[in-house]
Amino acid sequence: MKRTGTLLAAVAAGLLATTSAFAGDVRIMWYSDGVEGEVIQDLLNRFMQENPDIKITLDNVAYQVIQEQLPIQLESGQGPDIARVTNIKELANHWLDLRPLVSDPAYWDENFGNTLDWMRPDGSDAITGFMTQLTLTGGFANKTLFEQAGVAIPGDKATWDEWIEAAAKVAESQQLAAAFAIDRSGHRISGPNVSYGANYIGADGMPAPVDDGTKAFVERLVKWTADGLMLKDTWVSAAGSTYRAAADDFVNAQIPYYYSGSWQIANLSTKIGDAFDWVATGSPCGTAGCSGLKGGAALVAIKYTKNQADVAKVMDYLAREDIVKEFSERTLFLPAHKGVIAKGGLKWDTQDKNVGPALDAFVKASSETLPASDALPAWKWANAYYGALVTRVSQVMAGELTLEDAWAKIDQDIADKVAQAK
């Protein structure tokens, strides 16, 4: 019975993501960090009222499905008609070029042009989709816990060492599980790596070997974990490159400091409410700077769709300036639309006093990112690097590898990915 249930679940998952075969049907695979699933459904309902000949099915799935199952479906020439994804460059060959299909390509170039390279094959001028939001990695501090412990929140240019030292004092005073946590993600530790001088991209555009900058931060992270300062379960409770966020640990006040990103703001606001005060902190500094990593989630059209015209019509609607503005305001995400940003006047849909200052802090931090970080979103091999980092660093934390072994295995993992792609 268990095997039968597993088989049925696999079949259901496959059907869930299959492109619509009937004219007028569009399936969207969607994941949420916060309230954006509810917001996009509302916007799509409005579209369907205006376009009764098009039926849109929104499949809300876990982020793990997007990261692990969708690539497999795409490789077999299947998948949804539209998907919300973060692995946007590596999978770019699977996206549909909307340039000949959208009503006004110049509008897309003007308003999304600075991020279109993130989601299309190198050398292409394709319009494959748009960023539903811009994101930036960065930290959050439980202001209430810091105040109760009598520990000052570190200032703007505080280093990683200073932040962890302060958070450790809070954790000891308040008898917390750990001082801090970073999401289990190679992406999440890449801004800190760059802050210590890391550069993943070689002179030839191919992956460079693990350098001293990466080693400088990862060695700290491993030591902090061994010393009980980093919440160990976040990284060792999963295998391979599986993503695990520590947001709930922060929400439940188990850690005073949490390094994740701007996409968590709506989630934290919803779950924390008035339980405690929290602030966004930007990224702590290393020896090279105080850099986070920009990115975001893109809504892309899948080239295996059988309903290209309908998909283009849906994408045109969701990319409209007024729709992007409303989506941003209601989801508390930073917009990636040039017109919306230029006009300003965003009215964040929140009564939470913590949200506005948090968004402002991330806007400020976005001007402090380093060039080695800014190059990563449009780099084809970024996800290969992220995956190797999280897999091997987790094994070091679990006592399965030494750091010296990990460096060699990270380089080999990445080389294997390159060879496999060729």
Query: Which pLDDT score is estimated for 15?
Result: 46
> For 60-87, what is each residue's pLDDT tens digit?
999 999 999 999 999 999 999 999 999 8
pLDDT band of 364, cuts 50, 70, 90: confident
Residue 378 burial by Cβ neighbours in a 10 Å radius (0-12, 13-18, 19+): middle
> For 249-296, what is each residue's pLDDT tens digit?
999 999 999 999 999 998 999 999 999 999 999 999 999 999 999 999
The yes-or-no verdict on residue 192 having pLDDT over 80 is: yes
Residues 102 and 188: their CA atoms lie apart, in Å, by: 34
Please compute the mean of the pLDDT values over residues 94-108 and round it to a whole number.
98
Give the pairing type, strands 129-142 and 294-301: antiparallel
CA atoms within 13 Å, Cβ hemisphere of 134: 21
CA 382 to centroid of chain Cα atoms: 13
Token pair 């090279």 is found at: 288
Query: Which pLDDT score is estimated for 3?
Result: 35
Q: Which residues pair with 141 in a beta bridge?
A: 257, 279
What pTM was computed for the model?
0.79
Residue 308 CB coordination number (10 Å): 16
Please compute the mean of the pLDDT values over residues 316-336 and round it to a whole number.
94
Query: Which pLDDT score is estimated for 21?
Result: 61
